[in-house]
Amino acid sequence: MNLPRRDFLKSCGALIVSFSSGPLSLLSAQSPGPFGTHPSHIDPGKLDSWLAVGDDGVITAYTGKCDFGQGIFTVQSQLVAEELCVRIARVKLIQCDTSICPDQGTTSGSQSTPTNFNSENLALAAATAREALLSLAAKKLGEPVENLTVSDGVITSTKGRRVRYEGLLGNKHFDLPLNVKAKRRSVAGWTVLGKPIPSLDRTALMTGQFEFVHNVRVPGMLHGRVVRPPELGATVAHVDEQSVRNIRGLVKVVVRKDFVGVVAETQHQATLAARQLVVKWNPGPELPAQKDFFDHLQKQPADDALSVDSQDVDARLADASSVIQARYSYPYQMHGSVGASCAVADVKPESVTVWSATQSAYPTRSIIAKLLNMPLDKVRVIYMRGSGCYGLNGADAVSFDAAMLSQAVGKPVRMQFSRQDEMMWENLGSACTVQLRAGLAADGHIVAWDREDWVAQMGNRPGYDQPGNVITGTLLGYEPELPKPGSAKPPAGKFRNQSNTVPSYFAGCIAGNCGGDGTIRSERALTHTVRSPFFTGPLRSPLRIQNTFANECFMDELCVRANADPVAFRLLHLQNPRVIGVLKAAAQAASWQARSSAKPGVSRAGAVSGRGIACVAYEGNNGYAALVAEVDVDLETGTVRPRRFVVALDCGPISNPDGLRNQIEGGILQGMSRALVEEVTWDDRRVTSVDWETYNSLYLDYDMPTVETVFVTPANVPATGAGETAITITPAAIGNAIFDATGARLREVPFTPPRVKAALVESARKGESI
Amino acid sequence: MREKIALNVNGQHHLVEVDPETPLLFVLNDDLGLRGPRFGCGMAQCGACTVIMRGQVVRSCVMPVSAVGQDEVTTLEGLGTPEQPHPIQQAFIDEGAAQCGFCLSGIILTAKAVLDLKSDASDQEIRHALGGVLCRCFTHIRMLRAIRKYAEEKRT
């Protein structure tokens, strides 16, 4: 099957524009997959799987990490240009096309940078390629490699002899494995990476030329819409196809178990048919009441897991000079992509092509093969950008829907969700409630900290084999992933803090090995995962934002009890130099005045202002940030207005400071919207926040605060993720600033005016401060 | 049901044969192959489908194509080209005022329309005009900076 790479190269461009799936049948060899993924026909151990040098000098790179607006397309192009010593214009990056790109699983979890920008995968491939080209040049020019320099793909010897990359390899295979000893170019010498190169998609975006998945048009393409149940768990009783008989251009009503969709010649006809089709549904189960939902969560059977347990928290708390406890709650929130999800599928008897905005091209390919009962090697998924997703939005489900509809009519189908399809059925960010207890010694140190959280989950990313994790699969009869109730085993192995369950102030000791960021050795963190009545899935900073809101606000409560400055008190309980570094940097940049909260002498009427701080080691070791929030609070209305954010971020070497600032600003403001207004609502049957009038988001007219960003970059550390770090601490920093301004503690997101007013009343009653 | 409808879009005349009730957005996307206006909500709640007609912003997802009449429709690609972007597009390029970019028709065209009507519009007036426009990547700060930059250039 050895398809020459040059054939790939010739066909790449044509494949994308002509929608041919010709070479697919040639790509059937199996080799073990990396990244915990399934076997793929693209061997990531081979250099040719990642890079090719064309006879025009263009370097084509293939990546399994795709750009949905976070800027990874530009920085991966910079990476390849940097390592190969060429201008960025010479790099052509192809992202997440399962026929030609390596399987790198899902683009998620702030993992693209750690995966592709350190010493493996794309970075290693590019370094291997540069060394291989230099070694070829050395042979050709008859001079040692040390005598050669490269500039924009031209290798020059000390004697002045020259050869171009394409003269060495143009259109030929490297035929080499990745060389684990290949050396990355040193950060100090970077000329392309590390620079604020303007994002490569900019001009096309601003001038309306950019091709989103929504813009894909295939000859002979029809239009699909789905008809979802009125509520989760409802099943089809009867579909009255006669009800849409009068709709011109209707091609087919597609029913498969509880999946219902329509296909028509135009979008308008498909929309009309979906609205008009009469479907009788058997009702689903009743939903738990929203008003008591967090109490409900705490009573459910749960899958328990301990992150850390020193087994002495009760004893130490009994000895403490003072103990405080509190419960923090975080609602379901939405990805709420501004564009309703869309995909295009062309299912032929012999091959399947799906243009999809999924973050998981290869897993989506596996699921589609399963749903259509097609051999895996006949299915190709081509990533095309959709509307920003921030995690698992409707992109996967709509891709499955498109494939189902196309198979049913035997023609290409463009499937477009309605706003309600998107918002009623997406995999929500999990609701979570956290119960915390901690004790202080007489000297003001924290002596013990205990925390338990209850998190609601059902479904997830579908991965390679769980279609039931999103709505389409469930309608087709597949089960979603559910928590399996059971008691917790004692923590074992290496300390991990993937979901930021454990506060930064814990020593994190398991069997004598301490991997936490802090000094508190009497520590327990127990998670109860319970069944959610709604689909859930990763939403930017999944569980990390929920847990950190609770941990960092509770830390602030301990500061108050200790009558200590929030920065100094945190430093007292931290030992990780990188967390300490960002905390100090943020405080300094914000001209933080050391004092305890609440701010002394604030009035009980009118507008007040305050500041709060929060910090995190994202996922324990994947980026570090501290954030100072300054807010105004109107005591009459309960309205919170953030005025200024100052953030310090440490993500190791920075690939593109402009792109990073864009991500940080977006993350903090998105975090602010989530902290202030975003909350999924439901009644006894169904989700009721299904459009932009029922689900709140801050519009462009919002009086935005300023965001100031400081980078902390220690020497000789690997690159970490950065897109989810700042958002993780935003609700906590705002909550702490509200307390500083008012003396009222907000323990439930979002901080809506009624909740703020209720907290003000509560604090006045308790005389908590002022 | 289908009718022949004449449209003037971005200075070019087109004759399309469609159901007159079809939303203008679908005609722009499917019949004319334009990419700038995009389907966000279909309910005039987000602005992703924005076009300009008679100097006013219009949500093309809820306007039947038959209601367009003789008026010229301007989409995001009607302002400028990648080679020669309109000054407001250039300001957005210079400021890097996008993340996913899906919402840009609403942002750029709404800001342009308000500044065309009132070149000395204050920040507050511009923000007010953008009240129904949504960006879920929260690129607000850069977008407002780009609009301010364009407004200043326009005045001088």
Residue B137 maps to a domain: yes
What is the average per-residue pLDDT within A108-119? Answer: 94
Are B128 and B97 in a shared domain?
A: yes
Are B101 and B38 in a shared domain?
A: no
Single-letter amino acid code for the residue at A405: L
Residue A24: which pLDDT band, with cuts at 50, 70 and 90? very low
Nearest-CA distance from B137 to chain A in Å?
A: 6
Chain B residues touching residue A702 (CB < 8 angstroms): 127, 140
What is the average per-residue pLDDT within A186-202? Answer: 97
A31-65 pLDDT per residue, tens: 333 344 445 689 999 999 999 999 999 999 999 99
Return the residue in A73, A75, A206 with the most chain B beta carbons within 10 A, the one to mutate for interface testing.
A206
Return the residue in A66, A70, A199, A207 with the most chain B beta carbons within 10 A, the one to mutate for interface testing.
A207
Are B59 and B19 in a shared domain?
A: yes
Structural tokens at position A634: 């109107």
Domain containing residue B40: CATH number:
3.10.20.30
A200-235 pLDDT per residue, tens: 999 999 999 999 999 999 999 999 999 999 999 999
Per the listing, tokens 């689909």 go with A535
| CB within 8 Å of chain A, chain B residues 7-66 | 18-19, 21-23, 26, 29-30, 33-36, 38-43, 45-46, 48
Q: At residue A9, does pLDDT exceed 80?
A: no
**Collapsed DSSP state (helix, strand, coil) of residue A706:** strand
Chain A residues touching residue B135 (CB < 8 angstroms): 338, 700
**Collapsed DSSP state (helix, strand, coil) of residue A501:** coil
What is the average per-residue pLDDT within A299-325? Answer: 98
| CATH class of domain segment(s) A5-197 | alpha beta
In the prediction, which pLDDT does A375 show?
Answer: 96
What is the average per-residue pLDDT within A555-570? Answer: 98
Residue B81 maps to a domain: no
Range of the structural domain that residue B110 is part of: 87-155
CB atoms B98 and A206 under 8 Å: yes
CATH 3.30.365.10, chain A: domain bounds:
5-197, 213-284+335-425, 293-332+430-766
Does the bond joining A349 to the residue before it have cis omega, within 30 degrees of 0?
no
What is the average per-residue pLDDT within A540-544? Answer: 98
What is the average per-residue pLDDT within A469-490? Answer: 98
Q: At residue A769, does pLDDT exceed 80?
A: no
State percent of chain B over pLDDT 90. 97
What is the average per-residue pLDDT within A93-106? Answer: 95
Average model confidence (pLDDT) across chain B: 97
Does the bond joining A598 to the residue before it have cis omega, within 30 degrees of 0?
yes
What is the average per-residue pLDDT within B75-104? Answer: 98
Structural tokens at position A761: 């009343």
Q: How far apart are CA A105 and CA A463, in angstroms?
A: 9
CB atoms A214 and B19 under 8 Å: no
Are B137 and B92 in a shared domain?
A: yes
CB atoms A416 and B39 under 8 Å: yes
Residue A768: which pLDDT band, with cuts at 50, 70 and 90? low
List the one residue out of B14, B11, B154, B135 whose CA is nearest residue A390: B135
CA distances from A743 to A434, A604, A641, A729, B46 (A): 21, 10, 16, 20, 37
Q: At residue B29, does pLDDT exceed 70?
A: yes
What is the average per-residue pLDDT within A331-356? Answer: 98
In the prediction, which pLDDT does A22 show?
Answer: 32
The dihedral region occupied by A343, where left means phi > 0, alpha psi between -120 and 50, and beta the remainder, is beta
What is the average per-residue pLDDT within A568-597? Answer: 98
Q: At residue A376, does pLDDT exceed 80?
A: yes
Instruction: Note the pTM of the prediction, 2 decimals.
Output: 0.95
Q: At residue A8, does pLDDT exceed 70?
A: no
Are B17 and B66 in a shared domain?
A: yes
List the one residue out of A216, A213, A217 whose CA is nearest residue A387: A213
CB atoms B79 and A210 under 8 Å: no
Average model confidence (pLDDT) across chain A: 93
For residues A696 and B45, the answer to whether their CB atoms sit within 8 Å is: no
Q: Which residues, 6+ apart, have CB-to-CB distance to A633 below 8 Å?
A: A607, A608, A609, A610, A639, A640, A641, A738, A741, A742, A756
Give the number of domains in chain B: 2
Residue B44 maps to a domain: yes
Domain at A213-284+335-425, CATH from 3.30.365.10, 3.40.50.10800, 3.40.630.20, 3.20.20.60: 3.30.365.10
Residue B82 maps to a domain: no
Q: How far apart are CA B120 and CA B115, in angstroms?
A: 7
Residue B22 maps to a domain: yes
Is 0.90 exceeded by the ipTM?
A: yes
Are B61 and B108 in a shared domain?
A: no
What is the average per-residue pLDDT within B85-95? Answer: 98
In the prediction, which pLDDT does A40 show?
Answer: 63
Q: How many CB atoms lie within 10 A of CB A340?
A: 26
- B109-125 burial by CB neighbour count: b if 16+ within 10 A, else e? bbbbbbbeeeeebeeee
Task: Tell whether B134 is within 8 A of chain A (Cβ).
Answer: yes
Q: At residue B1, does pLDDT exceed 90?
A: no
Measure CB to CB from residue A697 to each of B96, B101, B134 and give the nearest one: B134
Measure CB to CB from residue A338 to each of B18, B82, B136 and give the nearest one: B136
Q: What pairs with residue A157 in β-bridges? A: A148
List, as one string, the DSSP characters of A404-439.
HHHHHHTS-EEEE--HHHHHHHS-BBPPEEEEEEEE
What is the average per-residue pLDDT within A437-461? Answer: 97
Helix (H) or strand (E) holding A588: helix A577-589
In the prediction, which pLDDT does B20 show?
Answer: 97
In the prediction, which pLDDT does A266 show?
Answer: 98
What is the average per-residue pLDDT within B4-28? Answer: 98
A116-162 pLDDT per residue, tens: 999 999 999 999 999 999 999 999 999 999 999 999 999 999 999 99
A504-520 pLDDT per residue, tens: 999 999 999 999 999 99
Q: At residue B130, does pLDDT exceed 70?
A: yes
Residue A253 CB-half CA count within 13 A = 22
| CATH class of domain segment(s) A293-332+430-766 | alpha beta
Measure CB to CB from residue A268 to each of B22, B35, B76 and give the nearest one: B22
Q: At residue A428, does pLDDT exceed 70?
A: yes
DSSP A17: H
Domain containing residue B114: CATH number:
1.10.150.120
DSSP B101: -
For residues A499 and A542, the answer to whether their CB atoms sit within 8 Å is: yes
Residue B80 maps to a domain: no
